[in-house]
Each structure stands twice: as structure tokens, then as C-alpha cells.
Amino acid sequence: MPRPTGPALMEKLVALCKRRGFIFPASEIYGGINGFWDYGPLGAQLKNNLRDAWWRDMVEVPPLGPDGEPLQIVGLDSSIIQNPKVWEASGHVGGFNDPMVDCRESKRRYRADHLHVFLPSDGEGPGFAFVEGEADTALSKIKKAKRDRDQYRVTPLLSLDPAAYAGVIGPDTKEPGSLTEPRQFNLMFQTYVGATATQDNLAYLRPETAQGIFLNFKNVLDSSRVAPPFGIAQIGKAFRNEVTPRNFIFRSREFEQMEMEWFCHSSEAVKWFEFWSQARLQWWKDQGVQAERLILRTHERDELAHYAKKGAGTVDIEYAYPFTEPGHGELEGVAHRSCYDLTQHQEHSNKKLEFFDPQTRERYLPDVIEPAAGLSRGVLVLLADAYDLDESRPSPELLRLKPSLAPVKAGIFPLTKKDGLPEISDRIFRELRERYVVQHDIKQSIGKRYARMDEIGTPFCITVDHQTLEDQTVTVRDRDTGYQQRIATDKLTPFLAEKL
Ligand code: ATP
């Protein structure tokens, strides 16, 4: 059986995540809450490992620049709730909207830009709307109407005059005319700061981590020994009241971002935009994500965000998700934000945010190149990319995660519970746990223990057997190949150090 694709792969993945403790629906015992997810013991560890890899490669050891010199990037951890004026200045209060369409009949709400319609080429009969990537229901409705797919062309709902919606059947209904005109919908979650819930106390949960960086640009400049070109990086939660959260953790209402704002002189912005686009694509490949499932896609002019209208543009790093393949969906965006955000904050706050270059005696607001990645979406990519089936194993499911990202690095097992083997494996466990996340497991058959480790992506299984009593060696089994080699117990730490 080959590795499943499409919805079948998603089903397997979601089931594995639940069964093994990677990801659970939030508030599950109360029936869940749409668009929110909890990370279980293994999911939290996997997410931390990805977060740590990003922080290390961006902040602690940033890459070498185009001239071979180490780049300067510093870290930041700003508040989720900021002065609400921030979001007016950033354009989010006015512009952070998705057009949405309601269905009067099914009461469901859709992102208008996610809806497409099968329109009859001959104008005979209704059109059939569907959510991007979910054409199947519409196709079966066409079949039921005793018509042929070839008699229809596909067009975005937004390209139709709303008057024509009267002749369109919604994705979840049988009769035409239930879709409303698109309306704007602000994606920011609101809350109140302080004891009273009045308009004066209204505040927002941040919809992106980036603004916290712009707000602290001057603080960092004045307190750290940095000067453009340099970066400020931040990892943290972001909240968007998405109209249609879907595809597991791909589009959720609470998620984590890993963003870096790279401040540079406008004359160098194009150079840095190209540098970061390539560097970030390469980084995902370095995390073990298969190169042929990743693409760089340049945004069309008309889909650019409000801040990216001028300048070098935006490029997305996209992955072939099970629900988009053979197409791709966004994993990270690299945007040239020009000096939009700093200009806005300077105007709205009335505080000078300019950088003074003592060498050229130029005073300016730097341009910004922003690589913005989803940490939660990254976890989905790692899981989907690593999922595989190996029919030669009794339990064929395995996650081929990059060893350094795997939540558990090694499973340590005594072959049997007798003859002092558990005592030896316990000693090995106690030694290795000082440096690595490892698990000691003495229950069940060795095959079952291997299978469990394969399923959670553990790269190595260390087994203590009777030969260990004679020559102090153990077998080390490789997850991907099943290959077993004997290694002296005192060589295990250097072995893992090399592999991880
Ligand atoms: P989309 O077009 O998918 O809504 P976006 O272009 O609005 O995404 P950005 O504002 O560029 O996304 O955010 C940067 C990154 O944050 C995205 O590449 C993605 O990885 C992540 N992200 C954005 N929205 C969500 C969400 N609702 N759930 C999970 N991750 C998200």
C-alpha cells in the first residue's frame, strides 16, 4: 500500500495525532470549540523543537549574509494585548477584513474568496458553489442533475455580480438563492481591559506578532548595539476570528507565528527580499521537509496586503498539503512591507522612529523585509510530510521526522523483564535522559514497542538483550530502515550526539 494522499492522508494523520497524543480538539469533553486545538505531550514537544530550531537559526546563530558575514538579529517577546491605537495605525481595524458570504439556509459562513462556482456554459440551470479544494459535493450534485462536468466552467464566486447568486446553489444546500452578498468581517478578537466593558476599554488580541516588533523598533535601536541592516525576531500566539477555520490546524483561530522584521535601507530592500526568500525556503528543506513538496509563489499585484502595495512584493513559501495537492497552500510569507508600518506608527504616535546613520548623516525610516511563518502550520507540514506507510512492518504507520525535531529521540527497552535486563536498560535510560528526551518501556512485546516508537517518529530504539550481559553492547534500531547495529553501552551518548 503506498502512502495515502488527499483526504485519506488527513484522516490517518488526525487519527494518529489523537491516538498518540500529538493534537486534540480544544475543550473536547464539552464538544470542542471550532478553530481551537490543544497540543498533547508529543505535539507540545514537537512544536517546541520546531520553535527552538527557528530561534536558534534566526536569533542565536543567524545565517551568513550574501557577503558571507554573520547577520545581526535580536529577539523580542512583546505583549499580546497592546494599546488599541496600534491596530488603527497598522491598518488592521480598518482593513483586516475578509469578505464573507452567509448561507441563509444552512447557516454556514464562508470566506467569499474561498468559494468557486461551476457555471453552466450554456446558461441552462443553476450554478453549483463549492469551497476551494472541496469540489466533490458539487460534482455529485451535477451528476444528480443528470448533467456533465464538461458542460460547466469554474469561476470564483467574487467574479460574479451578486445579483447572479440567485441562480447559485450553496455548498451545503440543494436549492439556489441562499447565499448572501459578500460582507466585510473583522478578524480581530475583541476584549475589555479593566473592570468595565465599555467602548473606552475595548482592546484587541493581536492578529500578528509583527506589530509588537515595530512598536519596539526604537527601544531596541536605543538599547542594543544594532543598526540597519538588522532584524528583530519574535515567536508567539496570534489570534484571528477566521470565518471558516478548517483543515485541522492549518487554519485555526488561535495559532503561533514565527516572525522576523528585517530593517534595511530602501536602496537594499530588493537584495534582502531575494536573500530572505531563498534563505527561508532552504530552512524548511533543512528541517527535513521534502523539497519537491515546497514551492515559492510570487503574489499577483491584486492579492498584495495593504502594506505591500509598493516595493518588491510578496512571495509565499507553499507546501503541497494533503488537502491542496497537487496544488499548494501557504506555510510562510516573505513580504516587502516597505516603511509602511514605521511610517504609520510615527504618524499616529507622534514619536520620531527614524534611524540616524552617523556615517552618511542620513536620517530615515528603514524598509522592512518580513519572513512570517506559522509555527502551528509548520507542525502540520512536519507531520504530513513525515507520514509514511511501510507494509513490510506489522504496524505499517511511521513518521519519518528529522531526528533533531522528533519529540522522543530514543526508546530504551529490555528484551524481556527477566535476567536483570530491565536494571541495565534503566541505567541506560537514567544516563541518556540527562541529555535527550528518551523513554524507557518494559511492557508488551518488542514488536509492539518498536511499532509505537515508529508511529511517534522516534528515530532510534535501543534494546538490551542477553548479549548485553556478556559484552556490554545493545542493539540500536534505525526507524527508517529497520537496520540494527550493536553499539557498546558507553558509546550511546556520542552515537546520539552525532545523529542528532
Ligand atoms: P492566509 O492567506 O492563509 O489566511 P495570511 O497570508 O493571512 O494567511 P500571514 O498574515 O502572512 O498569513 O501570516 C503569516 C503566517 O501565519 C502564514 O504563512 C501562516 O503560516 C500563519 N497563519 C496565518 N493565519 C493562520 C491561521 N488562521 N491558522 C494557522 N496559521 C496561520
3-state secondary structure 331-386: EEEEEEEECHHHHHHHHHHCCCCCEEECCCCEEECCEEEEEEEEHHHHHHHHHHHH
User: Rg (Cα) of the chain, in Å, rounded?
Assistant: 26
For residue range 454-465, what is the model confidence (pLDDT) as tens digits?
999 999 999 999
Mark residue 96 as left, alpha or beta (left: phi above 0; alpha: psi -120 to 50; beta: remaining): beta
Q: What percent of the chain has pLDDT over 90?
A: 86
Specify the pairing of strand 473-478 against strand 484-488. antiparallel
251 in ligand 1 pocket by Cβ < 6 Å?
yes
Q: What is the pLDDT of residue 497?
A: 96
Q: What is the pLDDT of residue 185?
A: 79
Q: Is 4 exposed, middle or buried (0-12, 13-18, 19+ CB in 10 A)?
A: middle
Going by CA atoms, what residue is nearest to atom 23 of ligand 1?
374
242 in ligand 1 pocket by Cβ < 6 Å?
yes
280 vs 317: CA distance, rounded Å: 8
Give 475's pLDDT tier (boundaries 50, 70, 90). very high
Q: What phi, psi does 303 have (nearest 5°)?
A: -105, 5
Specify the pairing of strand 254-264 against strand 152-156. unpaired
280 in ligand 1 pocket by Cβ < 6 Å?
no
Q: What is the pLDDT of residue 302?
A: 63
Q: What is the pLDDT of residue 192?
A: 96
- Give 35 Cα–ligand 1 centroid separation in angstroms: 13
Q: What is the pLDDT of residue 301?
A: 64
- Give 256 Cα–ligand 1 centroid separation in angstroms: 10
* Interval 412-416 mean pLDDT: 96
Top pLDDT among 99 and 290 is at 290
For residue range 168-190, what is the model confidence (pLDDT) as tens digits?
999 999 999 999 998 887 889 99
Closest among 440, 390, 431, 372 to 411, alpha carbons compared = 440
CA distances from 118 to 131, 145, 148, 164, 471 (A): 11, 13, 11, 13, 70
* Interval 319-329 mean pLDDT: 95
Cis peptide leading into residue 66 (ω within 30°)? no
For a ligand 1 pocket test, name from 330, 337, 379 the mutation site with the most ligand atoms within 8 angstroms of its C-beta: 330
- Give 255 Cα–ligand 1 centroid separation in angstroms: 9
**Helix, strand, or coil (residue 204):** strand
Closest among 451, 459, 477 to 408, alpha carbons compared = 459
Atom from ligand 1 closest to the CA of residue 257: 16
Going by CA atoms, what residue is nearest to atom 8 of ligand 1?
330
pTM: 0.88
Going by CA atoms, what residue is nearest to atom 2 of ligand 1?
330
Q: Choose the weakest-confidence range: 32-36, 129-133, 214-218, 228-232.
A: 129-133
Closest among 498, 374, 410, 456 to 54, alpha carbons compared = 374
Predicted confidence (pLDDT) at residue 309 exceeds the cutoff of 80: no
Give 107's pLDDT tier (boundaries 50, 70, 90). confident
Atom from ligand 1 closest to the CA of residue 98: 4
Domain with CATH 3.40.50.800 in the chain: 394-499
Nearby residues of 25 by Cβ (< 8 Å), 6 or more positions away: 32, 33, 36, 37, 38
Q: What is the pLDDT of residue 365?
A: 98
For 193-253, where are the E strands, in sequence order? 202-204, 230-239
Domain with CATH 3.30.930.10 in the chain: 6-96+189-385
Cross-strand bridge partners of residue 269:
none
Q: What is the pLDDT of residue 267?
A: 95
255 in ligand 1 pocket by Cβ < 6 Å?
yes
257 in ligand 1 pocket by Cβ < 6 Å?
yes
Task: Kindly report the CATH class assigned to 6-96+189-385.
Answer: alpha beta
Q: What is the pLDDT of residue 311?
A: 63
332 in ligand 1 pocket by Cβ < 6 Å?
yes
Going by CA atoms, what residue is nearest to atom 6 of ligand 1?
333
377 in ligand 1 pocket by Cβ < 6 Å?
yes
330 in ligand 1 pocket by Cβ < 6 Å?
yes
Q: How many CA atoms lie within 13 A of 246 on its CB side?
A: 16
Number of Cβ within a 10 Å radius of residue 491: 13
Predicted confidence (pLDDT) at residue 243 exceeds the cutoff of 90: no
Predicted confidence (pLDDT) at residue 306 exceeds the cutoff of 80: no
- Give 333 Cα–ligand 1 centroid separation in angstroms: 8
Q: What is the pLDDT of residue 240?
A: 95
Going by CA atoms, what residue is nearest to atom 18 of ligand 1?
332
| One-letter amino acid of 390 | D
Predicted confidence (pLDDT) at residue 209 exceeds the cutoff of 70: yes
Give 1's pLDDT tier (boundaries 50, 70, 90). confident
CA distances from 264 to 306, 337, 354, 360 (A): 20, 11, 12, 14
For residue range 113-147, what is the model confidence (pLDDT) as tens digits?
899 999 999 999 999 999 988 899 999 999 999 99
470 vs 481: CA distance, rounded Å: 27
- Give 280 Cα–ligand 1 centroid separation in angstroms: 16
Going by CA atoms, what residue is nearest to atom 24 of ligand 1?
251
381 vs 54: CA distance, rounded Å: 15
- Give 316 Cα–ligand 1 centroid separation in angstroms: 10
Specify the pairing of strand 460-464 against strand 410-414. parallel
Q: What percent of the chain has pLDDT over 70?
A: 97
- Answer for the pair 73, 58: CB distance below 8 angstroms, yes or no: yes
Helix then strand then coil, % of the chain, to nearest 5: 35, 30, 35
Predicted confidence (pLDDT) at residue 199 exceeds the cutoff of 60: yes
- As a whole number, the mean pLDDT across the chain is 94
Specify the pairing of strand 387-389 against strand 460-464. unpaired
137 vs 12: CA distance, rounded Å: 21
- Give 292 Cα–ligand 1 centroid separation in angstroms: 22
- Give 374 Cα–ligand 1 centroid separation in angstroms: 6
- Give 295 Cα–ligand 1 centroid separation in angstroms: 16
Predicted confidence (pLDDT) at residue 252 exceeds the cutoff of 90: yes
- Give 250 Cα–ligand 1 centroid separation in angstroms: 9
Q: Report the CATH number of the 394-499 domain.
A: 3.40.50.800
Closest among 456, 461, 454 to 477, alpha carbons compared = 461
Q: What is the pLDDT of residue 308?
A: 59
Give 310's pLDDT tier (boundaries 50, 70, 90). low
Going by CA atoms, what residue is nearest to atom 21 of ligand 1?
374
256 in ligand 1 pocket by Cβ < 6 Å?
no
376 in ligand 1 pocket by Cβ < 6 Å?
yes
333 in ligand 1 pocket by Cβ < 6 Å?
yes
Going by CA atoms, what residue is nearest to atom 19 of ligand 1?
374
Give 91's pLDDT tier (boundaries 50, 70, 90). confident
